[in-house]
Structure 1
């Protein structure tokens, strides 16, 4: 997903961003992973999977990741 040729106001930062014609900001990547793949990728990145939330059909998840405790 991209923001393209528009004015974006970020109220919390008191900031306005103006994108001119031809300018764009990449804002999102969407990937589909199994529960096992999420755990594998978290481990590979050195992160700990603390909690997962799923929709009723278990088609979507929100994943809480943390760095390891030192």
Structure 2
């Protein structure tokens, strides 16, 4: 069962989170996402997909910066 189905069985967010072994905030997001899908409104899904893609690009840039910084630091230490 998904979060929305469990919610419709009169369980609250905390009980659903325990059953699905996820955070309460994730339960809330899933319920709202599934309700939007039922209504045919996917605007939020599009937003989250774009946001997640931006976060991944940022994370990758940050990791590349950290690697470069570490290389420069090691090079300075050897000199």
Quickly name the TM-score band, shorter chain normalised.
Answer: under 0.3
> Highest relative contact order (Cα 8 Å, sep 6+), 1 or 2?
1
Give the TM-score, by structure 2 length. Answer: 0.21
Q: Rg: which structure is higher?
A: 2
- TM-score, normalised to structure 1, is 0.23
Higher helix proportion = 2
